[in-house]
Copies of this chain bind each other. A is one copy, B any other.
Amino acid sequence: MAEALEGRRSTRRTATLASLAAELGVSRTTVSNAYNRPDQLSPALRRRVLDTARRLGYPGPDPVARSLRTRKAGAVGLLLTEALSYAFRDPVAIQFLEGLALACEDNGSGLLLVPVSPEAEDVGAVARAGVDGFVVYSMPDDDEHFAAVLERPVPVVVCDQPTDVPDVDRVGIDDQAAMVELAEHLAALGHRRVGVLCMRLSTDRNDGFASVGRQDSARYEVQRRRLAGLRDGFTAAGVDWSTVPVVERFDHTEAAGGSAFDQLVERNPEVTAVVCTSDILGLGALRAARAAGRDVPGDLTITGFDGVPAAERAGLTTVRQPSLDKGRAAGELLLDRGDRQRSRTLLLPTELMVRATSGPPPSR
């Protein structure tokens, strides 16, 4: 880890609080107070301490030693589904991060992005993170990094998934209800032959059609519940869910959405509505549909999920979820925890955004 950080600067052998105290002929407490409790010594002495510190090149109390002593790291750890850098490519994750950063900022806490390679056996990164608590963003069930987080004796807040972890706060949305609402919207428009594009349902790659069994046993609870919502909504409208094609993609990109769309309509050209479980997928599908000469929404309806800015620009009908608020709430739940004993779950509202990509199925 970070070996070789031995530049010129770090070489400069630094004075310590003790050596500074010795030089000044005062106790370590006094020096410590000069930094941490200015009111505990005379301004004159404090000046003298600080001046001498500067002269000796003493950089102030070592943060790690202080953390050890105070048992506070002053930082929140963030654990993400994907490789660290993924967080900066997904607009929903970015919004979440912004909200979380806001909460940390308000609290004066740092935000430590924990380096977990998705494939890494090495759970060590979690164990080595010097943090006062963890925010866990959308992890699959039975993830080993998440398990490692749970080992740590610090508070944990989960965003979205997994749910139902004892002693862990959670912030999320009602994915299932939101999808029921969307299904009802489409059913009301008259759609009965629908297809679905969804994100990965498991940690192993399976780009293709997902059976009902696979849907029900998905390791990603959010996807599981969104699909369940669609099933409920369309079943209520008389659709036999077992006939509804669901195409899964491991990668969460517009390109993946596009290829999933192509795969779907090739096998099921009869569908009049393509429901996507994310905006990214939906945007990709939209582009692929138009590239294939389909008229959306005249000829085909396409919907997304999330409510990212790009979806708004594209006029994509979708379900808006408050990603930024989720991040902020997660941070606040972690940081502002009073003396409350019971773990809390915060469900934020979603909103169906009917825009320009949904309409009645083509007559005939």
User: Hey, which bits of chain A sit against chain B, CB under 8 A?
Assistant: 1-10, 12, 14, 57, 59-68, 72-77, 83-85, 87-89, 94-95, 97-99, 101-102, 104-105, 107-115, 117, 122, 125, 127-130, 132-133, 151-156, 167, 334-339, 341, 343
Contact = CB atoms under 8 A, between A and B. Distances in A.
Nearest to A60: B127
A89 to B, nearest CB: 6
Contacts of A3: 72
Nearest to A99: B85
Contacts of A87: 101
A142 B114 CA distance: 31
Given A10-B155, A59-B152, 13 more contacts: A1-B107, A2-B109, A5-B72, A5-B335, A9-B153, A9-B154, A63-B127, A75-B129, A83-B105, A85-B98, A110-B112, A110-B115, A130-B130
* Copies of this chain per assembly: 2
A4 B338 CA distance: 6
B101 A84 contact: yes
A289 to B, nearest CB: 19
Given A7-B337, A10-B155, A108 B133 contact: no
23 contacts: A1-B109, A2-B335, A4-B335, A5-B72, A5-B155, A8-B167, A9-B153, A10-B153, A57-B153, A60-B151, A63-B129, A63-B130, A67-B130, A68-B68, A74-B129, A85-B101, A88-B94, A88-B95, A88-B101, A107-B115, A110-B115, A111-B113, A113-B113
Top 3 A-B pairs, shortest CB-CB distance: A88-B98, A7-B155, A85-B101
A76 B337 contact: no
A19 to B, nearest CB: 14
Nearest to A77: B110
B98 A110 contact: no
A67 B129 CA distance: 10
A2 B153 contact: no
B155 A1 contact: no
B88 A97 contact: yes
Contact of A115 (B64, B111, B153): B111
B101 A108 contact: no
A354 to B, nearest CB: 25
Contact of A129 (B61, B110, B151): B110
Contacts of A335: 2, 4-5
A287 B149 CA distance: 47
Interface hub of A8, A57, A77 (most chain B Cβ within 10 A): A8
A176 B231 CA distance: 58
A38 B4 CA distance: 23
A115 B125 contact: no
Contact of A334 (B5, B63, B75, B115): B5
A7 to B, nearest CB: 4
Given A68-B65, A153-B10, A110 B105 contact: no
Contacts of A334: 5
A164 to B, nearest CB: 16
Contacts of A65: 68
B115 A5 contact: no
A75 B74 CA distance: 14
A68 B102 CA distance: 29
A8 B341 contact: yes
A73 to B, nearest CB: 6
